[in-house]
Chain A
Amino acid sequence: MSTLAVAVESRSPVRRLVWAMPVAAALLVYPWVASQYQAMLLAYGLVMAIAALGFNLLLGYTGLLSFGHSAFFGVGAYTVALMVKYLNVGSMELFLVGAVVGSAVVAGIFGFVCVRYTRIFFGILTLALSQVLWSLAFKFFWVTGGTDGLRVPTPMLVGFSGGKTDKIEFLAHAYYYYVLVIFFACVASMWVIVSSPFGKALQAIRDNETRAEFVGIQVRRYRWVAFLVSGVFTGVAGALWVPLNGLITPENLHWTFSGKIVFMTVLGGFSAFAGPIIGAVLYNYLEAYAVGNTVYWQFVLGTVLVVLVLSLPTGVVGTADRLIARWGGRS
């Protein structure tokens, strides 16, 4: 894992930009060339990409496998829904602020408990804590709507109401671009974080905790900050996701949803920066088309997961990188 990560990360930023610019341009023109449904589906993918990106700061960079990221996604989403229900807020910017604060508080507390442990203990603790939130959302139905969930109406984007236009049109255009801007901002800031001395310290902790401690890194504190940042990214994704879906239910707090985030990241490859992004977008298509085309969709997803783990342990991006490197080396 670490050798591959080094190989990928040693590429020059210029070469990365060569890859990133056409992709960014394609994302910008996408709603004009693709159908409304496709634009909306990609918006879902981008939102999940933010969540997976945040998740991967823990898995890929810090070496901690969280099985509780549904908690932060759900807190982000429920914060928005509760702001609508109790405070009558309609502004997307306020939703994002609320989600950042909400998920930071929860991630701060959960992180404080969880980063004392690593490996399976860490994973189980995050899972258990997220299940606590799930059961609260499930049981306190007079506040959270229980399994019926809470509805979130069309929000106002930078002060403009999207309520009058057609909802589908709104989601496929205005809201798509809103998601895209936040997505770019999240990718850029995550890039800065993982390239910073802080990011390097996290990777040092991942590779050898004892040595990292000896060079003076406060391991637990660094892990806690990484946990916090990771949770906030996923919380932002939750907030962006609710208006898209129109409804938040406890399903999104359940550990199986955390499993989906893990799946996405493994699908893309957790050792590359772009892995979780590609993985989330791919998973989103995979799930939508599997559910749409067969009642055996669970079988399809399960098969993909098994094949992935057995034959592509570095994920789609890791494998592509390796193939490109091999091809580049030969020519």
Chain B
Amino acid sequence: MAAEVNRRDFLNTLGVSVGAALTSAGAALPVVGVAHAQDKPKGNIPDTPFKIGHMTFFTGPAAVLGEPMFKGQQLAAEEINAAGGLLGKRKIELLKADENAGTDANVKELRRLKLSEKIDFFCGITSSGNTPALGPVAEELKLLTIFVDGCTDFLFDKAVPNPHYIFRITNMQSADGVTGAVAAAMTWPKTKKIAHIHPDYSYGRNAFDHFGIVMKKMLPSAENVSEGWPKLGTTDFSSHITKAISSKPDLLAISVWGGDYVAFYKQALRYGMFDKMKVASMIAFGVAPHAIGKDHPEGIIAGVHSNYHFTYPGGDRWPYNKTFVEKYHKRFNEYPNFQAEGGYTATYMLKNAIEKANRLAGGWPDDDAIISMLEGNMMAAPAGYVYIRPDNHQGYKDAVTGFSKNVADYPFPILDPERIITIPIRNITAPPGWPKGEPTSTYTWIDKTWPRAKA
């Protein structure tokens, strides 16, 4: 049985910091988007284009969240091409595919991209329903892949437990529910009654499970009083809103995302929902920032899929973020979301691995050489340091969330710069060597190893 600790010590052990400075950066890590002096590539490099297939939501309510992923990659590709291409020679050519076509059409399309279009690299994917479908197909096709999102733990826990060709850059899904719950427990420790609204598919259940297990540890006396499971793509939330309100909760936990969330908050405003309870969302501000209006309530925990919000790290504190946001805004006249950062970083992660492999062996490196360089790679990205764990090919970076706030500088709400919450990722995800668990490895790891706060 895990020991009992008081809540303040608990938060200290998790390393949670609010509005805190970053740990000092000293190491000479590879970085994104910076044209630093680079060794001349070794050996003969072909000048054939490097084809990247990019699949994300270009249509449907998920597009406000997914499409910026393509823009992020596009920006990186344009920068790299302007400098001559990969290893100075191979220009990146991007091929678009719409994820909204449905899982089986996506499987066919991925095969078409590899076998017919002969893409060298596959990238993208938003929905966590799609990576377990496409991951094994990419492995069968021997197609080098970095998924940007589609972050279900299930992919590397079970669907592809020993990945070779596939990687994923943004944080694992369980980090989302955990981050939301830690932030809520820390901010509103007197919470007794919790209502839940989650999309009725694997992502929503994952958020529900991990929010629940953290609450069990941090606020053991809190109980769930209501559950609502709207179908993904729902635009009418009134029944779920009235049900949650009638259960008189102190806190609403919600992981509805994309266009669905925009519809939700506008309807919830009409019911005065945000005045009746505190709200902790896993992914409210995951959408492209301009998709949320100034009418959005302030002071709710507005999650960014535990990954990235363009205002953090702000100012001059993390130059790569400053320049990324400036470049992105200049190029697309909008601000990036976590998917845009993911698409951008994935492209530079690949570039970096290709350059490392070239320095070792010369010439254009084969996929296996690139894969060995991606494994264990760490680089500084706009969001902070991102590390690819070699055993499961999953990207890890410190989790971020915060509180919605309207400021004069932007025509939409942002995360309150004074109250950003960050948590070191190693403290909230199952470490290497931890056995695969049900429903996820992180769930069993939290359940078995975290202490319980005194009620």
Contact = CB atoms under 8 A, between A and B. Distances in A.
Q: Do A and B come from one complex?
A: yes
Interface of A: 35-38, 40-41, 44, 138, 141, 146-149, 151, 167-168, 245-247, 249, 251-252, 287-288, 291-292, 295-298
B98 A291 contact: yes
Nearest to B104: A245
Contacts of B232: 147
Contacts of A35: 115-116
B152 to A, nearest CB: 7
Contact of A141 (B59, B108, B205): B205
A328 to B, nearest CB: 38
A297 B98 contact: yes
Nearest to A39: B115
Given A37-B116, A292-B112, A146 B98 contact: no
Given A149-B133, A247-B133, A295-B96, 17 more contacts: A35-B115, A35-B116, A40-B111, A41-B108, A141-B202, A148-B154, A151-B132, A151-B159, A168-B115, A246-B107, A246-B133, A247-B136, A291-B105, A291-B108, A295-B59, A296-B59, A298-B59
Contacts of B88: none
B39 interface: no
10 contacts: A141-B202, A146-B201, A147-B201, A147-B202, A148-B152, A247-B132, A247-B133, A251-B103, A295-B96, A296-B59
Given A149-B103, A249-B103, A251-B104, A292 B97 contact: yes
A249 B98 contact: no
B111 A148 contact: no
B58 A295 contact: yes
A292 B104 CA distance: 13
Contacts of B96: 295
A291 B103 contact: no
B51 to A, nearest CB: 14
B120 interface: no
Contacts of A295: 58-59, 96, 98
Contacts of A296: 59
Contacts of A151: 132, 136, 159
A36 to B, nearest CB: 6
B141 interface: yes
A37 B201 contact: no
A162 to B, nearest CB: 12
Contacts of A37: 111-112, 115-116
Interface residues of B, number: 33
A264 B32 CA distance: 48
A148 B96 CA distance: 24
A249 B205 contact: no
B104 A291 contact: no
Given A287-B105, A291-B101, A295-B58, A147 B129 contact: yes
A295 B101 CA distance: 9
A234 to B, nearest CB: 16
B115 A36 contact: yes
Contacts of A298: 59
B109 interface: yes
Interface in B127-153: 129, 132-133, 136-137, 140-141, 152
A237 B237 CA distance: 38
B201 A252 contact: no
Contacts of B116: 35, 37-38
B101 A249 contact: no
Given A247-B103, A297-B98, A298-B59, A288 B136 contact: no
Contacts of B97: 291-292
A82 B202 CA distance: 19
Contacts of B58: 295
A230 B53 CA distance: 39
Given A246-B136, A295-B98, A148 B202 contact: yes
Nearest to A254: B102
Contacts of B113: 292
Nearest to A295: B58
Nearest to B127: A147
A297 B205 CA distance: 31
A292 B201 contact: no
Nearest to A40: B111
A298 to B, nearest CB: 7
Contacts of A148: 129, 132, 152, 154, 159, 202
Contacts of B109: 288, 291-292
Contacts of A38: 116
Contacts of B159: 148, 151
B162 to A, nearest CB: 15
A21 to B, nearest CB: 30
Contacts of A41: 108, 112
B283 to A, nearest CB: 17
Contacts of A36: 115
Contacts of B133: 149, 246-247, 249
Contacts of A146: 201-202, 205
Contact of B107 (A168, A245, A297): A245
A133 to B, nearest CB: 16
Nearest to A252: B104
Interface string B80-111: 00000000000000001110011111011101
B65 to A, nearest CB: 16
A246 B105 contact: no
B191 to A, nearest CB: 28
Given A249-B103, A249-B129, A44 B202 contact: no
Contacts of B201: 146-147
Contacts of A141: 202, 205
A86 B360 CA distance: 48
Question: Can you list the 4 inter-chain pairs with the closest CB atoms, starting with the nearest?
Answer: A37-B115, A295-B58, A147-B201, A167-B140
A138 B113 CA distance: 29
A30 to B, nearest CB: 15
- Chain A CB within 10 Å, residue with most, of B59, B103, B113, B154: B103
B202 A168 contact: no
B146 to A, nearest CB: 21
Contacts of A252: 104
- Chain B CB within 10 Å, residue with most, of A35, A147, A288, A298: A147
Contact of B101 (A44, A149, A168, A297): A297
A287 B101 CA distance: 9
A247 B107 contact: yes
A287 B105 CA distance: 8
A35 B114 CA distance: 12
B379 to A, nearest CB: 31
A38 B152 CA distance: 32
A297 to B, nearest CB: 6
A146 B201 CA distance: 7
